Amino acid sequence: MDIETALKEAMGLDGALGAALVDYESGMMLGAAGGGRTLNLEIAAAGNTEVVRAKARTLEALGVREGIEDILITLDRQYHLIRLLSRGGSQLFLYLALDRSRANLALARHRLRAIERELSM
């Protein structure tokens, strides 16, 4: 599945507000879907890049040798899900913002895992 299709799949989840594929070495988006006035995906991509980098540094400092599968940020009305991927040496993550009142978090995590497996670049 290509990037555009992967992001459309993510946006097909109930409650999806926006989705992006981000290179966390550079903080640049490789693709985005959804978003809008209430969710600026470029700002979200840059900010979540810092979240991923900070968590990776913390794990390294702690001596934890496990990879990060995903990071969940829970807000009053939203879930922000960051799913880390490795593709050909690139450091990427899928970002998905969800309306908490309409989303099924377990299903969203399951679907992002499936998208990761099917994504080709």
**Residue 87 confidence (pLDDT) above 80:** no
Q: Tell me the torsion sign for CA atoms 18, 116, 121, 72.
A: positive
- In three-state secondary structure terms, 55 is helix
For residue 28, what are the domain limits? Answer: 3-118
Here the CATH number for the domain that contains residue 73 is: 3.30.450.30
pLDDT digits (tens, 9 = 90+) for 44-85: 999 999 999 999 999 999 999 988 999 999 999 999 999 999
Structure tokens at 111: 């679907």
Task: Report, as an integer, the average pLDDT of 83-109.
Answer: 90
N-terminal to C-terminal alpha carbon distance within the chain: 8
pLDDT above 70 (res 88): no
Q: Write out the two tokens for 105.
A: 């978090």
User: Are 92 and 83 within 8 A, CB to CB?
Assistant: no
Distance of alpha carbon 116 from alpha carbon 85, whole angstroms: 7
Distance CA 56, CA 74 (A): 19
How confident is the prediction for the chain on average, in pLDDT?
Answer: 93
Q: How far apart are CA 65 and CA 52, in angstroms?
A: 15
Q: Residue 80, exposed/middle/buried by CB under 10 A (0-12, 13-18, 19+)?
A: buried
How many domains, in total, are found in the chain?
A: 1
pTM: 0.92
